[in-house]
Amino acid sequence: MNKNWWKESVMYQIYPRSFKDSNADGIGDIQGIISKLDYLQDLGVDLIWLGPIYDSPNDDNGYDISDYYNIHPEFGTMAEFDELLAGLHARGIKLIMDLVVNHTSDEHEWFEKSSASIDNDYRDYYFWRDGVNGGPPNNWTSFFGGSAWQLDEKSGQYYLHLFTKKQPDLNWENPKVRQDIKNVLKFWLDKGIDGFRMDVIPLISKRLPFQDAEARNFSELVEKYYSNGPKVHQYINEMYEDVLQHYDIMTVGEGPGISTSTALNYISPDRRELNMIFQLEHMFLGFGEKGKFDQQPYELVDLLNILINWDEAISEKGWNNIFLDNHDFARLVSRWGNDREYRYECATLFATLLLTFRGTPCIYQGSEIGMTNVKFDSIEEYNDVETLNFYQEFVVDGDMDEATFMKAVYKEGRDNVRTPFQWNDSDSAGFTDGKPWLKLNPNYDQINLEADQAHSKSIFAFYKNLISFRKGNEDLIYGDLKVLQKEDNLFIYERRGEQDSYLVILNMKSANAKYKLPHSKIELVQSNCDGFPNPIEVLHLRPWEALVFKIIE
């Protein structure tokens, strides 16, 4: 096993709009992040993934970039970005940026030129096609509802957009596009950033000539038609050979449609492509035929099976990333746990899983204080384009009743994780002195960092403690993983290092459980419940109890 800094790091995702506002316009910004650098250092994370901060009309909150070389004025200036980077580095924290190059904004100069006429130098920067029988070129649907093709009245042709119609897909077949993207990579790497999180990177190579898809459900559509296209590895490798290999950096590709059988093609070191992927198989759990607002039941053991399968498939030759939430999916404590009676226990149990499983852990902002999902009263209070588009498609234009749709939004809508960070219980939770761009979760009077910091037993203290336990602990980071049990929502595994080995016991349900210890001598090193009795043969576990033991014999 090769050792690398990015395998030993604890990653933390910042969603810039919602982290901290410095100038009372209600929008989180770079100065806000700078004001919290000591907080990040105190928490102990050493690698930040910063969501997009580039110029953007914000149709998809920055995932629609109109200028890769400029900072959006609502976030600040390039000088402030440089200050942020220097401030992080001064604290020993690295920074990776979001790279969104499957598509641009329709307000990007390239698209404006491309759409100006049928015949111009930029026309084939994007995919323009004639319609078929008075409709779009094929039956592909976008991630955010409706056809993936938009008719341009002026030229009479359609352009491809796998996301919103304000996110036209770039044509990577065109070598000029690839060169332009490589210039973007170089620009940011020369500034000294430490790598990229590459948005929907397996989608960059399209299956031409755009034949109709025949898929039973959304996940299959993504895997078989949109992802893993014929030239995807050529394109990623080209970025590696021409740019990435010349820097000491880390890359993690967001991986919709990548499965355990295709993952190593992206991340096995001999492929010279990416270091890690954010696999999304567990995040897509519960997606029905029509995606996330078409919710289907699933069990917690499905999550465990996916994590275990990925570990088995990847960890000998590559390296996994472990995350349980991000800016696109529900709050982890609400999605996988019980955020009412057992919020503290669940948040700390999942922290234990994140930080002791094999792979680089990624913590999404707010998880370290146990922030939960939110329920706004009406659809008008939502901001997320995915939620709003599907509301239109399923409820307004379709036959889904509003209550069913809202239930899915409360469960899985992206605004659950985008409400502002809850710093304290003052007005606007200490996030802003103005009116927040998205309503706060009203529970900020109870759930906030200051409240956590006032107690030695808090979710924040637990994270901090476990992060520092993990740091530099090579046996825990690189040790083998052996699963002993996953049945009955009792998840038990060992991490076997060269010197020390650990036993992790997670009781993942709101009920007691019993477990017969396989070792005669163990020492408790981490626990989320008070008053653990001295090691005894049969453990009596409380609801959502999480224990980490060092194995002596």
List of residues contacting ligand ISL (CB under 6 A): 60, 63, 100, 143, 163, 199-200, 254, 256, 280, 292, 327-328, 386, 414
DSSP letter for each residue of 432-455: -SS--SSPPPGGGGTS-HHHHHT-
| Residue 440 near which of ligand ISL, Ca ion, none (CB within 5-8 Å, type-dependent) | none
**Based on CB atoms, which residue is closest to Ca ion, 102 or 365?**
365
Q: Cβ of residue 362: shortest distance to Ca ion, in angstroms?
A: 25
Q: Which residue has the tokens 């990416």?
A: 274
**Based on CB atoms, which residue is closest to ligand ISL, 84 or 252?**
252
Q: What are phi and psi of 61, to 5 degrees?
A: 45, 55
Q: Cβ of residue 327: shortest distance to Ca ion, in angstroms?
A: 18
| Residue 522 near which of Ca ion, ligand ISL, none (CB within 5-8 Å, type-dependent) | none
| Element of type H or E holding 255 | strand 250-255
| Residue 29 near which of Ca ion, ligand ISL, none (CB within 5-8 Å, type-dependent) | Ca ion
Q: Cβ of residue 444: shortest distance to ligand ISL, in angstroms?
A: 24
**Based on CB atoms, which residue is closest to Ca ion, 32 or 413?**
32
Q: Residue 143 burial by CB count (10 A; 0-12/13-18/19+): exposed, middle or buried?
A: buried
Residues that bind Ca ion (CB under 5 A): 21, 23, 25, 27, 29
| Residue 75 near which of ligand ISL, Ca ion, none (CB within 5-8 Å, type-dependent) | none
- State in Å, rounded, how far the first CA of the chain is from the last one: 25
| Residue 256 near which of Ca ion, ligand ISL, none (CB within 5-8 Å, type-dependent) | ligand ISL
Of these residues, 21, 80, 194, 199, which one is catalytic?
A: 199
- Rounded to whole angstroms, how far apart are CA atoms 67 and 62? 11
| Residue 23 near which of Ca ion, ligand ISL, none (CB within 5-8 Å, type-dependent) | Ca ion
**Based on CB atoms, which residue is closest to Ca ion, 11 or 30?**
30
**Based on CB atoms, which residue is closest to ligand ISL, 327 or 464?**
327
- Rounded to whole angstroms, how far apart are CA atoms 147 and 158? 11
DSSP letter for each residue of 144-195: TSSBSEEE-TTTS-EEE-SS-TTSPBB-TTSHHHHHHHHHHHHHHHHTT--E
522-527 and 480-485 strand pairing = unpaired
| Residue 169 near which of Ca ion, ligand ISL, none (CB within 5-8 Å, type-dependent) | none
- Rounded to whole angstroms, how far apart are CA atoms 504 and 294? 35
**Helical H segments across 222-378, by residue range:** 232-242, 264-267, 300-314, 332-335, 343-356
Q: Cβ of residue 365: shortest distance to Ca ion, in angstroms?
A: 16
Which two tokens mark 547?
Answer: 């224990």
Q: Which amino acid is at 350?
A: F
Q: Which amino acid is at 30?
A: I
**Helical H segments across 198-231, by residue range:** 218-221
Of these residues, 55, 98, 169, 254, which one is catalytic?
A: 254
**Based on CB atoms, which residue is closest to ligand ISL, 15 or 444?**
15
**Based on CB atoms, which residue is closest to ligand ISL, 327 or 335?**
327
Q: Cβ of residue 335: shortest distance to ligand ISL, in angstroms?
A: 12
* Number of Cβ atoms within 10 Å of the Cβ of 516: 7
- Rounded to whole angstroms, how far apart are CA atoms 354 and 319? 14
| Residue 199 near which of ligand ISL, Ca ion, none (CB within 5-8 Å, type-dependent) | ligand ISL
Q: Cβ of residue 342: shortest distance to ligand ISL, in angstroms?
A: 26
- For 76, left (φ over 0), alpha (ψ -120 to 50), or beta? left
**Based on CB atoms, which residue is closest to Ca ion, 140 or 437?**
437
Q: Cβ of residue 107: shortest distance to ligand ISL, in angstroms?
A: 15
67-71 and 54-55 strand pairing = antiparallel
**Based on CB atoms, which residue is closest to ligand ISL, 157 or 167?**
167
Is 475 an active-site residue? Answer: no
- Output the residue with the shortest Cβ distance to Ca ion: 29
- Rounded to whole angstroms, how far apart are CA atoms 359 and 6? 10
* Residues 526/552, Cβ–Cβ less than 8 Å: no
CB crowding 163-197: b at 16 or more within 10 Å, else e: bbbbbbbbbbeeeebbeebeebbeebbeeebbbbb
- Rounded to whole angstroms, how far apart are CA atoms 74 and 110? 23
Q: Cβ of residue 413: shortest distance to ligand ISL, in angstroms?
A: 8
Q: Cβ of residue 122: shortest distance to Ca ion, in angstroms?
A: 34
| Residue 100 near which of Ca ion, ligand ISL, none (CB within 5-8 Å, type-dependent) | ligand ISL
- Rounded to whole angstroms, how far apart are CA atoms 22 and 51? 17
Is 173 an active-site residue? Answer: no
Which positions are catalytic? 199, 254
